């Protein structure tokens, strides 16, 4: 069976979600549209853990922006990729689902270095992190906490085994 699965890390919008927690939404909200995930594929991943994932156009870097998104969307988590995966899958007539792991919880702001870290190609640019930390050393504890949470989330993601799914 051909299918698309959006997997990786996500930000928490619901304050109850903790780093390392798996989220499998029943649907994705992207650009004002709702895309329902494939039921069988979602069930094979472990079943939906919640109703809605928000696909944002930009990083929600502050606790205030996450809280506002939670109130306005009712989505429990956010990423920037699942909306595109859903759209492509729907256009191609493919089943799709989302499996994400919470990296940054709702109540935490992302440190400036985390936002500066990515290059235009999406790679982590260590020199950008160093420059940000040198300009603002007070962010080091938040950066260490984020790195710890990200490592925990990646370990959780790596430990997931996905069963094969067949369709009649």
Q: Which of 107, 19, 27 is nearest to 75 (CA)?
A: 27
Output the pLDDT for position 164.
Answer: 64
Residues 6+ away with beta carbon under 8 Å from 22: 46, 49, 99, 100, 101, 156, 160
User: Residue 71 pLDDT > 70, yes or no?
Assistant: yes
Domains contained in the chain, CATH given: 4-159 (3.40.50.1580)
Across 109-125, average pLDDT? 78
Using pLDDT thresholds of 50, 70 and 90, give the confidence band for residue 120.
low
Across 2-22, average pLDDT? 95
User: Residue 15 pLDDT > 60, yes or no?
Assistant: yes
Using pLDDT thresholds of 50, 70 and 90, give the confidence band for residue 54.
very high
Using pLDDT thresholds of 50, 70 and 90, give the confidence band for residue 12.
very high
Instruction: Tell me the percentage of the chain whose pLDDT exceeds 90.
Output: 74
């Amino acid at each position: 069976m051909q299918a698309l699965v959006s997997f990786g890390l996500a930000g928490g919008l619901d304050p109850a979600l903790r780093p390392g927690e798996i989220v499998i939404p029943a649907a994705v909200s992207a650009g004002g549209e709702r895309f329902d995930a494939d039921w069988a594929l979602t069930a094979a991943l472990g079943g939906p853990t919640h109703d809605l994932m928000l696909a944002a156009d930009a990083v929600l870097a502050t606790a205030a922006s996450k809280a506002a998104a939670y109130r306005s969307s009712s989505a429990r988590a956010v990423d920037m990729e699942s909306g595109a995966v859903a759209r492509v899958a729907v256009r191609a007539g493919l089943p799709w689902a989302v499996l994400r792991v919470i990296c940054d919880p709702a109540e935490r702001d992302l440190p400036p270095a985390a936002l500066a870290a990515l290059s235009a190609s999406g790679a982590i640019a260590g020199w950008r992190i160093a420059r940000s930390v040198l300009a603002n050393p007070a962010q080091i504890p938040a950066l260490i906490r984020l790195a710890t949470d990200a490592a925990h989330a990646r370990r959780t993601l790596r430990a997931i085994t996905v069963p094969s799914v067949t369709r009649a």
